[in-house]
Amino acid sequence: MTGDASDEVLVERRGAAGLLTLNRPKALNALDLGMVRRLRAALDAWGEDPGVTRIVLRGTGRAFCAGGDLRRIHDIAKAAGPAAVDVFWREEYALNTLIHRYPKPIVSLIDGIVMGGGVGLSLHGSNRVAGERYAFAMPEVSIGFFPDVGATYALPRLPGAFGTYLALTGERVGPGDGLAFGLATHAVPAASFEAITETLAAGGPVEEALEQAPGHDAPPPGPLHAARALIDACFSAESVAAVLARLDAAAAQGSDFAARTAATIRTRSPTSLAVAFAQMRRGGSMSFPEAMLTEYRIVTRILQGHDFYEGVRAVIIDKHGAPRWQPDSLDAVAPAAVEAYFAPLPDEPRFG
């Protein structure tokens, strides 16, 4: 679970800024345990350093961070059992919690893919700057997993039912929609990221550095914002089945967006859909530490089941994209089985 993180996370003090660069471009900067620990160590040190007044987080290559290294997690857990990867979840979720309560601004410069674990690194900080290739997604239900790294807390707090839409579909969000829905706080061309970093290192006000960056502009909202009324109407339903029924009704009235969305959901793991829907309904009333503990309970049960291993095999390893889910329909997912994912565990960590 631990690689040589000294090359995979570059740690640099530049003036008033602590600069963290994810540097695993061939793996789309996917996180492993060594990277999590290196990030945590740097943030802990800079949190106590009065000379560091802000953090800058960025990635090399065509991704900010595509998530956790789920192929590696799959292989280890399948060979040695879920307990062999338990330390990764405990430490990644603790890092997410630290970022959420961090006493200094954390500015994430995001150009390209930001998914899963990359969302956990960036979304809970103070500023998320979207470059022109910004592509946000939480696609976990497509591989039999669930939206974690603080999604239980963050997604239900997005406008309307947009968080539930993201959790159940895993669809990508571009910079215009990211800004419109609050996933991003600023939009700046990626060519200006180095200039932003230098301005932040000089120690001036963070908001001023971002708003006065070359090319700073608000791109127009994208296609998801245009479908906001339909998303709210359908994804505010009382169950996944009811969401699908509303989408089907809208599709029958001629909505191509509703038809495509319903078709996408029907390819996802039924168990993951039911768990994610329950997360979205519960998470809005949880504190961040409560949300992280909930996710730890869920991930422990997910790795004891079937769909995660099947999803990774079908989508990431074999790449045919046709997993065989168990159970294979929403009707076959018992409410008691969903409830069991949220039940306390005998040995639970504390977050926060």
Q: Which residues are catalytic?
A: 68, 117, 140, 148
Q: How far apart are CA 306 and CA 157, in angstroms?
A: 30
* Phi-psi sector, 170: left (phi>0), alpha (psi -120 to 50), beta: left
Q: How far apart are CA 220 and CA 10, in angstroms?
A: 34
Q: How far apart are CA 323 and CA 317, in angstroms?
A: 11
* Cα angle, residue 74 at apex, residues 288 and 290 outer, rounded to 5°: 10
3-state secondary structure of 63: strand
Q: Which candidate, 55, 77, 315, places its Cα nearest to that of 200?
A: 55
Q: Where are the alpha helices (DSSP H) in the chain?
A: 5-8, 33-47, 70-80, 86-100, 117-122, 151-154, 162-169, 175-181, 193-201, 206-211, 223-226, 228-235, 240-252, 256-265, 270-283, 288-302, 307-311, 335-340
The H-or-E segment that residue 13 falls in is strand 9-14
Beta carbons of 34 and 5 less than 8 angstroms apart: yes
